[in-house]
Amino acid sequence: MKLQSLINIFAYIALSESSYLKLPIIKKRYDNSNIQSHFNEPHYIIKNENPFVKREHPDADFELHAKFNQLAYNVELEIGSNKDKVTLLIDTASSDMFVNDVNNLPCKQYEEEGGPSGDENDGSDSDSDSDSDSDSAIYLKKRDVSEKSSCGAISYPQFDYPAQQIPSDYDYYMNLTQNIADPSLCSTFGYFSSENSTTMNELETPFNITYGDDSSAIGTMITDNVYFNGIEISNFTFGLNTDGNRAGPVLGIGYKDNQNSYQNGYDQYSSFPYHLKDLGLINKVAYSFYAPYDSSSSNAQLTFGAYDKNGYLPESGLTKVPIIKYSSRNKRGLGPYYLSITLNSISITTQSNDYKSELIATGNAAAILDTGTTATVLPYYILNELLVKYNFKWSSQVSSYIISEKEIPKDKAFITFNFQNALIKVPIIDFTYPILDGETLSNTGLRSISITSFDNDYFLLGDDFLSNIYFIADLESNEISIGQVNPQKSSESLVIIENEINDAVQSSNWDQVYGYNGITNLKLKNTYTVDDLKTADNVTENIQLYVAGAGVDLGW
């Protein structure tokens, strides 16, 4: 009896292991692990550019640098008969995988000659892969060290000060530049030596994709064997970047209808999650995502074919909502194209309303879950309302809206997103970056808003949001099951996905999707026309953090 029980257990384990593929997610910020822990978070450094001028002098301006705000969900794999190691960005808004060939010309020229080759945008007619710019995208671009970073923009430390202008923290900066893996170099992520792989086959389909940041991957589609944690994924189709300038390879895990080759007139192929099912490694084209804000790389997971019952809070549960066929521009095919779901309302809790919930906007807006984006992008009128309601203040010195972290305690000040009655709470402080004193590198107690905005009516939800959600994307049933992430889970309870997500309850507002009753956006509860909209620019004072030439003054 005991022997038979053991045989049954081993058979169950073998069946389970063949029914899912778990990929550890590496959350990278390209920082120095030897620096204090708060430097491992995205943050701003503020510094007086010229401390020797008087306050009224026209050159008495200030700069804000965003440091290490370039978060990427990375996964490592091996490719070809030689098992070349490559690190890729996991991107739910892309549907193709590509890697850089060892002979990629822009990569070689950039590293050998110290600069980019040619125009960063090749001017091709290929569609951009995402509906908006992705500030976590990695590509070859030479930056002026004096360039002021806009809120949420990529900034990588590059310093070349004249001797007479070396700042007091120069040694600190130089130490960072010597220890951080440069995200503008292709070698940081690894190359694939295609000509040395005996299992590689080149296809006749061209690969030409331009991403939201104007970086490009240009080459051809190929097939080869790919290995994740020793598991062989044979005869897999992906792009080989031989002529594009994007430094960071991508693992796209989106829908077939959003494949670059399909949008350019070619047939669809079995991209990564579909190919896993073709090989029998998973039972359904579905995956779960777990990467809490404060999580280490050891427990962040992307799991194909299974989900973790401990990944979400029990009191939250899992709510199943439909994936909608949304795109902000015309695309070939019927869709869906992205992990797009319907946002019905936004509520907030603030200090000014005694941390009670206040509804600020309702409707039926499209929201895209995008692991390729670091900072969330909102419609401008929604961001303005948040800035006003939370009492952010404008600082022309750092060109950003700021707030004291005491006003937005993580356990009290929230934004609640309502996805067809699935409620996800995100602390407003998660949508900000701490501001550090550029002279002392100490925390000032101030935070700068990290959310950016655009004129569109849809929502692009990046890492700052995704760190607070657990979701299971079912690409076959066009459904997502979502719940509040459990950031402190100590164990794992995997459930193999056969047909349905058994633990998910269908939304009670299932029909109230994007376009229901003709509504395709969120409308502010107390504002009926744009003319009535209060903007943060005209309701807040201009906060001066520094007094030029008079030392450090970080008071309000």
Average pLDDT over residues 446-466: 90
Q: Give the Cβ contact number of residue 550 at 10 Å.
A: 11
The residue with greater pLDDT, 167 or 113, is 113
140 vs 215: CA distance, rounded Å: 8
Q: Tell me: pLDDT of 350 over 80.
A: yes
Average pLDDT over residues 374-381: 90
List the one residue out of 232, 371, 353 whose CA is nearest residue 301. Answer: 371
C-beta separation of 436 from 44 below 8 A: yes
Model confidence pLDDT, tens digit, residues 45-70: 554 444 443 334 433 333 333 333 34
C-beta separation of 201 from 220 below 8 A: no
| Token representation of residue 42 | 């995205």
Q: Tell me: pLDDT of 178 over 50.
A: no
Tell me the one-letter amino acid at 253: I
554 vs 547: CA distance, rounded Å: 9
Q: Tell me: pLDDT of 479 over 70.
A: yes
Q: How much of the chain exceeds pLDDT 90, in percent?
A: 51
What sign results for the dihedral spanned by CA atoms 519, 523, 527, 532?
Answer: negative
Per-residue pLDDT at 6: 39
Per-residue pLDDT at 179: 46
List the one residue out of 438, 429, 375 whose CA is nearest residue 402. Answer: 429
C-beta separation of 530 from 381 below 8 A: yes
- Integer CA distances (angstroms), 206 to 98, 194, 222, 254, 260, in order: 12, 16, 9, 20, 10
List the one residue out of 501, 497, 473, 470 whose CA is nearest residue 486. Answer: 470
List the one residue out of 305, 257, 240 whose CA is nearest residue 499. Answer: 305
Choose the weakest-confidence range: 45-59, 314-328, 381-395, 507-521: 45-59
Q: Tell me: pLDDT of 223 over 60.
A: yes
What sign results for the dihedral spanned by CA atoms 282, 283, 284, 287?
Answer: negative
List the one residue out of 285, 427, 294, 422 whose CA is nearest residue 367. Answer: 422
360 vs 266: CA distance, rounded Å: 45
Phi, psi of 129 (to 5 degrees): -75, -30
List the one residue out of 268, 275, 271 whose CA is nearest residue 251. Answer: 271
Q: Tell me: pLDDT of 260 over 70.
A: yes
Contacts of 208 (CB under 8 A, 6+ apart): 124, 126, 216, 217, 218, 219, 244, 260, 264
- Residue in this structure with the two tokens 């001797």, named with its chain if needed: 163
110 vs 480: CA distance, rounded Å: 41
- Integer CA distances (angstroms), 226 to 28, 96, 493, 497, in order: 22, 14, 27, 23
73 vs 214: CA distance, rounded Å: 20
Per-residue pLDDT at 39: 35
- Residue in this structure with the two tokens 């091709």, named with its chain if needed: 124
Model confidence pLDDT, tens digit, residues 262-285: 999 999 999 999 999 999 999 999
Per-residue pLDDT at 116: 43
For the chain, give the mean pLDDT. 77
Phi, psi of 233 (to 5 degrees): -110, 95
470 vs 14: CA distance, rounded Å: 27
225 vs 241: CA distance, rounded Å: 17
- Residue in this structure with the two tokens 């010309």, named with its chain if needed: 105
C-beta separation of 214 from 134 below 8 A: no
The residue with greater pLDDT, 268 or 153, is 268
C-beta separation of 126 from 205 below 8 A: no
Element holding 137 (H helix, E strand): none
Model confidence pLDDT, tens digit, residues 483-538: 999 988 888 999 999 999 999 999 999 999 999 999 999 999 876 555 555 566 66
| Token representation of residue 360 | 């600020």
C-beta separation of 403 from 266 below 8 A: no
Q: Give the Cβ contact number of residue 381 at 10 Å.
A: 19
Distance of CA 167 to the CA centre of its chain: 33
Model confidence pLDDT, tens digit, residues 397-449: 667 888 998 999 999 999 999 999 999 999 999 998 877 665 555 667 888 88
Model confidence pLDDT, tens digit, residues 129-141: 444 433 333 334 2
Model confidence pLDDT, tens digit, residues 80-124: 999 999 999 899 999 999 999 999 999 988 877 655 433 333 323
pTM comes to 0.82
Per-residue pLDDT at 490: 85
| Token representation of residue 344 | 């019905």
| Token representation of residue 16 | 């389970």
